[in-house]
Amino acid sequence: MKRIDLVQVQHSIKIGDDCPYIEPNVTEDCVLYSEGEAIGFYLTKMPEKMCKLADLANHELQSKRVPKQGTKRSESAGGIVQESCIIGSVPPKPHMKRPYASISSVHQVETAKTFIKAMLLLANESEVLINEILPHQYERQLELFQGVPKKWRFGSLFTSSISNFNISAQFHRDGGNIVGAVNVIICKKHNSKGGDLHIPDYGATIGQQDNSILVYPAWRNVHGVTPIIPTHEGGYRNSLVFYPLKAFVGLN
């Protein structure tokens, strides 16, 4: 697999800025290195078993069986529907009058069971892939999770999952994640372009092709998603994300 060494570059991007459209410059299967250490990887196509699970999760997410939060935007998103769904563990949010951790309410919806099962199986297969390609990262993340009670885990290496349908995230850093751990971003894409992950610290824009997978330490750098542009009616980009929240370390 190709090796890409990420090199720091100067930029003026700040957290909260919109991500402009940028053509991807990382478009091949590769292992990502920083300062001589392998920190992540990108595959343009997942193994077939994972593709089938992602197809199922994507299909269920777009159905009425899975509750979602979302809006229909006009100018900012070209009138496309934007929706998201969080499953797994939800951290305490005192500012929202919920000072306690919980499991996403989606788990209580009977019609969402197939979606949740597909996502959990996909998380498990992602962990197998991490162990194959970045075994040192797999072992590190297992160690980091020793303090996370099993009831808060989604798989073995994550606590939570979010599916972002047609959402181009502004520049942000995943500061709530466990430092030293990685996220998984799986992309489902149909009749659209854009929706790629841009990391300005390295001038890297990682192509998010249909059935691609990106494993990356999202706590490490500011990053954003380029605009999602449908090329035909009904075009979309959906990201299936698994992530590890530090709020659950040591939380009973």
Gyration radius from the chain CA atoms: 17
Residue 129's nearest CA partner among 223, 40, 206, 57 is 40
What pairing do the DSSP bridges indicate for beta strands 183-190 and 236-243?
Answer: antiparallel
**Given this model, what pLDDT does residue 72 score?**
56
- Low-confidence residues of the chain, pLDDT below 50? 74-77
**Given this model, what pLDDT does residue 74 score?**
41
Q: Is the dihedral of CA 84, 55, 175, 143 positive or negative?
A: positive
**Given this model, what pLDDT does residue 140 score?**
97
The pLDDT tens digits of the residues spanning 106-146 come to 999 999 999 999 999 999 999 999 999 999 999 999 999 99
* pTM of structure: 0.95
The pLDDT tens digits of the residues spanning 88-115 come to 999 998 777 778 999 999 999 999 999 9
* Per-position DSSP letters for 48-63, written without gaps between them: HHHHHHHHHHHHHHTS
